[in-house]
A and B are shown apart, each in its own frame.
Chain A
Amino acid sequence: MDLSFTTAEESFRSELRAWLDGHLPRGWVDGAVEHDTLAGEVAFLVDWQKQLHAGGWVGVHWPREYGGREASATEQLVFLEELTRAGAPDVGMNFVGLLHAGPTIMTEGTPEQKARYLPAILRGEEIWCQGFSEPNAGSDLASLRTRAVRDGDDYVVSGQKMWSSYAHGADYCEMLVRTDPDAPKHKGITWVVMPMDSPGIDVRPLVNIFGSGEFAEMFLDEVRIPVANTVGAENDGWRVAMVTFSFERGTAFVHEMLVIMHIARQLIEVNDDLATGRELGRVAAHLDALWALTKRNVSQAARTGAPGIGGSVLKLHLSEVTQRVFDLGRRVLGRVALSRDDLDVGGDLRSGLVMTERLRHMSMTIAAGTSQVQRNIVAERILGLPKEPVWTSS
Chain B
Amino acid sequence: MDFELSDDQVALAEGIAKLCAGRVPPPRLRELEQAGGIDRDLWRELGDAGVFALRLPEDAGGVGLGMAEAGVVFQELGRALVPGPLIWSHLASSFEPQAATGARIFTGVVHDGSTRLVIDHLGVTDSVVVIGPEAVSVVPASDVADRARAVAVPTDPLTPVWLVDVNDVPAGEPAGNGELATRLLREGAALAAAQQVGIARATTDLAVAYAKEREQFNRPIGSFQAVKHILADMLVRAEVARAAADAAAVTLDQPEVGDPALAVAGAKAVADEAAVRNSEACIQVHGGMGFTWEALPHLYLKRAWVLDAAFGSADASADEVARLVKQQSR
Interface on A for B, CB 8 Å cutoff?
Answer: 1-6, 9, 74, 265-266, 268-269, 277-282, 284-286, 288-290, 292-293, 295-296, 298-300, 302-303, 309-310, 313, 316-317, 347, 372, 374-376, 378-380, 382-389, 391
Contacts and interface: CB of A to CB of B under 8 A. Distances in A.
A284 B232 contact: no
B1 A292 contact: no
B206 to A, nearest CB: 12
Given A5-B1, A284-B321, A379-B232, A384 B243 contact: no
Contacts of A302: 2
Contact of B318 (A3, A281, A292): A281
Interface in B202-231: 208, 211-212, 219-220, 222-225, 228-229, 231
Interface of B: 1-6, 9, 68, 208, 211-212, 219-220, 222-225, 228-229, 231-233, 235-236, 239-241, 243-244, 246-247, 249-251, 254, 256-258, 262-263, 265-267, 269-270, 273, 314-315, 317-323, 325-326, 328-329
A293 B243 contact: yes
Given A293-B243, A317-B240, A387 B223 contact: yes
A269 B330 CA distance: 8
A109 to B, nearest CB: 33
A382 B320 contact: no
Contact of A313 (B235, B258, B328): B235
B223 A388 contact: yes
Contact of B231 (A3, A4, A379): A379
Nearest to A277: B322
Contacts of B1: 2-6, 9, 74, 295, 298-299
Contacts of A376: 225, 228-229, 232
A4 B318 contact: no
Most buried by A among B247, B250, B263, B267: B247
A284 B240 contact: no
A268 B329 contact: yes
Q: 6 closest A-B pairs (Cβ-Cβ)?
A: A281-B322, A285-B266, A289-B244, A292-B247, A379-B228, A281-B318
Contact of A290 (B222, B240, B246, B251): B240
Contacts of A317: 236, 240
8 contacts: A1-B246, A266-B329, A268-B326, A280-B322, A281-B269, A284-B321, A288-B263, A302-B2
B315 to A, nearest CB: 6
A208 B129 CA distance: 60
A280 B321 CA distance: 9
Nearest to B66: A1
A1 B245 CA distance: 12
Contact of B325 (A278, A281, A309, A383): A281
Contact of A385 (B3, B231, B250, B325): B231
A378 B250 contact: no
A4 to B, nearest CB: 5
Contacts of B273: 282
B70 to A, nearest CB: 12
A278 B318 contact: yes
Given A313-B240, A386-B223, A277 B211 contact: no
Nearest to B266: A285
A290 B315 CA distance: 19
A379 B325 contact: no
A295 B247 contact: yes
Given A278-B318, A379-B229, A384-B208, 14 more contacts: A3-B1, A269-B326, A281-B323, A285-B265, A285-B317, A288-B263, A289-B266, A295-B1, A309-B239, A310-B239, A316-B233, A375-B233, A380-B228, A385-B222
A292 B235 contact: no
Contacts of A281: 269, 317-323, 325
Contacts of A280: 322
Contacts of A386: 212, 219-220, 222-223
A1 B329 contact: no
A235 to B, nearest CB: 30
Nearest to A380: B228
A319 to B, nearest CB: 11
Contacts of A375: 225, 228-229, 232-233
Contacts of A289: 240-241, 243-244, 247, 266-267, 270
A280 B1 CA distance: 29
B241 A1 contact: no
B139 to A, nearest CB: 34
A137 B269 CA distance: 40
B251 to A, nearest CB: 7
A3 B240 CA distance: 17
Given A279-B318, A296-B243, A372 B229 contact: yes
A277 B315 CA distance: 11
Nearest to B325: A268
A306 to B, nearest CB: 13
